[in-house]
Structure 1
Amino acid sequence: MSDYKARFILSGLLASAPSFAADQADARGFVEGSSMDVFLRNGYISRDYKQGNQDKAEWGQGAVASFSSGFTAGTVGFGVDAFGLYGVRLDSGNGRAGAPGIDFFMVDDNGDIEHDVAQAGAALKARFSNTLITYGNQRPTLPVLSHDNSRLLPETFTGTLITSSEIDGLVLHAGRFTAQSRKSDEGRDSAELKAIDVLGGSYQLNDNISAALYASDVEDVLKRQYVNLNYVRPLGERDALTLDFGGYRTNQEEQFDPAERKNRIWSLAATYVTGPHDFTLAYQRSSGDVGYNYGFYQSEGWVGDGGTSIWLANSYWSDFNNEDERSWQLAYGVDFAAYGVPGLSYKVAYVRGTDINLGGDGRGTEREIFNQFQYVVQSGAAKDLSVRLRSSALRVSANAQNAISEGNEVRVFVDFPLDFL
């Protein structure tokens, strides 16, 4: 099954890595339970902007080495997780670096581009029964705090996270993070994060229905809640219908304009899978007196809650999350394994957004056509190596061109995971 099919079928199982805290009674020992892997990524993103804006592009090679120890035996088990990452710039000269939406390598105040980026971090962990406590450098994956791993290197957060699965089917999270490491620069708090508190959980009611509820408090920035309900109905041996509802409620703090502090955004997606094909129809609605703000870095005046903290249906190059925006999506995907080419998949999507509140400029529209081919090597020395070719064409109405950048985007990613332990 391709990853974009699994996105809707499994989206109700919301958790961070590790998703479920294993039972401490099964502890194998600090060394015996250890694992180590290296993830190599060669990434390229190019954005051909319209409206006379300068084109942007970056190309780099990245490597992330991760080590996870086992747990010591006993009622409470102890262990450590550690990582090191390195990225080297291959090309982004001639003024093409510096787009916030690419952010492979930071451009400093003098206009100099980082030639390389190196970071390292570690976290201590303790496990009691089915509850895990982790303190240190982490990569949380929660709907209200989700680290960005969609560029060359991942961003990381420093803090404490508790993951508990003492009740069958129920996963709870509680945490506080006080630093964020920018994915394009070095330094423990290169993003100048104050603090983020997160609380919530997901529950698998039965084989077909799952639900989730999360909340976050980003100090001096905003408070946010998230809800999700996911339903999968098998319709035969190879057919299934998935309904996925997700939504956020956000209240921004006083530092923002008092007239622009509230946002409500939700999406409902229906995905029908039949054999190697899947068809998706989705609707997304943003309301309130401001658009849905998330991600990037507080050092740049943004929220700082992770670059993928928008778990909604209509999110590609554009997130279709502007003030008062309504958007529809129609998508199709196919897994070519059924046609004799295992590992090859394709997805195409069309999204159109309307009713964007532009103030004195009236109501605007935007539309995006998304395409992605992906191939994963199935065997041999390069097994699990994947190649992703992605493109987006984003266009906006004439009255929205001062508020929304339009253009053509191309992404090429070659990923190669290697296991050593």
Structure 2
Amino acid sequence: MYKSRLALAVAVGVLAQQAGAAGFIEDSKASISSRTMYYNADNREGGADQRESAQGFKLDYASGFTPGTIGIGFDAQALWGIHLDGGRGHRPNANNTFFPSDSDGSAVDEWSRIGGNFKARISKTEGRLGSALAPNLPILVANDSRLLPQTFDGGIVTSKEIDNLTFTAGQLEHAYGRASSNRTGLAVSGGTQDSNQFRFGGAAWKVTKDLTLQYYYSNLENYYTQNFLGLVHVLPISTEQSFKTDLRYFDSRSDGKNGQTGYFFDNNGGFAKNANEVDNKTWSAMFTYTLGGHAFLLGHQQVGDDGGFVWLNQGSVRGRNGSLEGAGGSSFYLFTDSMVNQFARAGENTTFGQYSYDFARLGAPGLKASISYLSGDDIKNKSGNGDYSEWERDMRVDYLFQDGVLKGFGATVRHGAYRGSGESVADQDQTRLIFNYTYSFL
């Protein structure tokens, strides 16, 4: 943490010399965001329940670029979380992913971290290097489903030199958990050894205004390599109707020391053809029909029989103080990454659907609601049987004030119910109440 703050101070000092340059200040943006969150996880099989609430603040600053052939700039981010109900209370364990834990398992009163990215731009190519990176790519999706966001340190380059073609490449070395002040190495589910090298590259080609093709490659050293192919097509039917097709395919393989002590993968609690090793092919097809304010989504996903789907997950990696300290919690680029469960075990076939409605059509702009249902079966347990199944139902309502004193203030209510059979995640009902507000002052 000390080194990251020192690097941040040095970068700010260097860039301060350019502060008078046109563009650096004039194009700067700054905002402060507030998130109040109540989290309730009701374990239906007798396990420890969880009920907590907290207040989070996020300060974001993004400079413009200095003039010249090479424009330089700097982005900074400060995070601060405050626990609103102290003590152990309804807090099931000391390795929580909602808020950092003290030595006795209770939540700390508060926690914070600060980070920043140095950035440079040449023509239509931009590079960022720092500790506040939040990628949103098919091979890595930064998680922001709790009080404060997950971030990474490393470097990312994005180039749009060729019209309709976006190239992205980079290397990440550490992760900052959504409930942690400190960074950890990178790993997968069950892996306890750090990998400090996640390399990736790929391209998104907008073939026409309605068709986009994607290819990405990633490699988490000593854990896995992964290839991704994607296709997104939107068919305009009329001014009020469209039909969207979204196809995704992942091919993941073992790399380096994967399967050895610490470098194993627990296959999301399911079967593996080669014990503790990554070996998976997963495809997903989603179709969405939009009619006015209505959106109907239907899709299917199939996880290969040889092992579970794999993605970056630091839940078993310990920080510098030897504690898990909230490093867990991650996202991936499939629809089945739902509120409670992931539907990503070996052999699993999942059919899913969602209905959503935008109430702006009824004169209530800012109000949206959705309900989704996922049903997975043919799940292979650790012995290779395929007799297990699971389902989840999620509901969500969002409202964002459009004008007046409360403009920019939003509220979200989410509720999810999960049930499974056999060797599965424990049955759980989960409720989240979230209040968000963002104020931009530059």
Determine whether 1:267 maps to 2:261. no
Task: Look up the equivalent residue of 1:277 and give its one-letter code.
Answer: H
2:342 is the counterpart of 1:319: yes
The SS at the match of 2:153 is strand
* Aligned residue pairs, count: 391
Q: Which residue of 1 aligns with 2:404?
A: 380
Of 50-59 and 95-104, more deviation after overlay is shown by 95-104
In structure 2, the partner of 1:16 is none
Distance in 2 between residues matched to 1:295 and 1:101, nearest whole Å: 18
- Asked if structure 2 preserves the Cα contact closer than 8 Å seen for 1:265 and 1:287, the reply is yes
2:178 corresponds, among 149, 173, 183, to: 183
Aligned residue among 287, 296, 301 for 1:284: 301
The one-letter code of the counterpart of 2:400 is V
1:295: how far off? 3.7
Partner of 1:355: 378
1:113-165 Cα offsets, whole Å, 9 max, x none, are: 22211000111111100001111112222221221111100111111111111
1:39 and 1:242 map into 2 onto residues whose CA distance is 33
Instruction: State the one-letter code of the partner of 2:154.
Output: G
**Residue range with higher mean Cα deviation, 230-239 or 41-50:** 41-50
SS of 1:91 mapped into structure 2: coil
Code of the aligned partner of 2:100 = M
Which residue does the alignment assign to 2:426?
405
Distance in 1 between the 2:235 and 2:157 partners?
32
Whether contact under 8 Å (2:184, 2:317) holds in the other structure is no
| Offset of residue 109 of structure 1 | 5.5
Contact kept? 1:263, 1:288, Cα under 8 Å? yes
Q: Against the structure 1 CA distance between its residues 346 and 158, is the aligned structure 2 distance closer, same or farther, given a 3 Å change threshold?
A: same
Structure 2 residue corresponding to 1:254, chosen from 247, 253, 259: 259
What CA distance in whole angstroms lies between the structure 1 residues aligned with 2:414 and 2:405? 25
**Could you tell me which amino acid in structure 1 is paired with residue 159 of structure 2?**
S
TM-score (norm 1): 0.87
Aligned equivalents of 1:39, 1:127: Cα separation in 2: 27
Identity among equivalent positions (%) equals 30
How has the CA–CA distance of structure 1 residues 95 and 357 changed in structure 2, closer, same or farther, with 3 Å as cutoff? farther
Distance apart, 1:95 and its partner CA: 5.1
Specify the alignment match of 1:9 in structure 2: none
d(CA) in 2 for partners of 1:307, 1:248 = 21
Q: Deviations over 1:228-251 (max 9, x none)?
A: 100100111100000101122212
What is the CA distance between 1:90 and its match in structure 2?
1.0
> Shift in Å at residue 308 of structure 1?
4.8
The corresponding residue for 2:392 is 368
Distance 1:40 1:92 in 2: 20
Aligned ranges for residues 59-208 of structure 1 at < 5 Å? 59-91=53-85, 93-94=87-88, 96-97=90-91, 103-107=97-101, 110-137=104-131, 138-189=133-184, 194-208=196-210
Is the contact between residue 145 and residue 306 of structure 1 (CA under 8 Å) also seen in structure 2?
Answer: no
Partner SS for 1:288: coil
**Equivalent-residue separation in structure 2 for 1:212 and 1:413 (angstroms):** 33
Name 2:8's counterpart in structure 1: none
Question: How far apart, in 1, do the equivalents of 2:334 and 2:352 lie?
Answer: 12
- Relative to structure 1, the CA distance from residue 195 to residue 115 in structure 2 (aligned partners, 3 Å threshold; closer, same or farther) is farther
2:240 is aligned, of 219, 229, 238, to 238
Report if the CA contact (8 A) 1:114-1:185 is conserved: no
| Maintained 8 Å contact 1:265/1:292 | yes
- Residue 300 of structure 1 is matched in structure 2 by 317
Contact 2:48 2:92 (C-alpha < 8 Å) held by counterparts: no
Which amino acid is 1:178 matched to?
A: E
Structure 1 residue ranges without an equivalent (≥5): 1-26
Kept in 1, the 8 Å contact 2:352–2:372? The answer is yes
Residue 85 of structure 1 aligns with an amino acid whose one-letter code is L
Distance 2:327 2:136 in 1: 11
Secondary structure in structure 1 of the residue aligned to 2:84: strand
Query: Which residue of structure 2 lines up, in the alignment, with residue 24 of structure 1?
Result: none
Contact 2:49–2:92 (Cα < 8 Å) also in 1: no
**8 A Cα contact 2:249 2:281, kept in partner:** yes
Among residues 32, 37, 45, which one is paired with 2:39 in the alignment?
Answer: 45
For residues 235 and 33 of structure 2, the distance between their equivalents in structure 1, rounded to whole angstroms, comes to 35
Cα distance in 1 for partners of 2:350, 2:252 equals 19
Aligned in 2, Cα 1:169/1:412: closer, same or farther, shift over 3 Å?
same
- Cα deviation 1:194-226 (Å, max 9, x = unaligned): 221111121111111001111111122221222
* Contact persistence 2:347–2:386 (CA under 8 A): no
Distance 1:167 1:100 in 2: 50
Secondary structure at the counterpart of residue 213 of structure 1: strand
Contact 1:387 1:412 in 2 (8 A): yes
Gaps of 5+ in 2: 1-20, 187-193, 266-273, 319-323
Partner Cα distance (1:206, 1:306) in 2: 39
- Which one-letter code corresponds to 1:166 in the other structure? E
1:322-374 residue CA offsets vs partner (Å, 9 max, x unmatched): 11100111211111111121111110111111001014465101011111011
Deviation sequence 1:257-314 (CA, Å, 0-9, x none): 7334201112101100001111111101101322113343165389x99955421122
Q: Distance in 2 between matches of 1:124 and 1:84?
A: 15
Distance change in 2, residues 1:195/1:149 (3 Å) = same
- Asked if the contact 1:102–1:151 (Cα under 8 Å) also holds between the matched residues in 2, the reply is no
Q: After the TM superposition, which segments of 4 or more aligned residues of structure 1 sit over 6 Å from their partners? A: 99-102
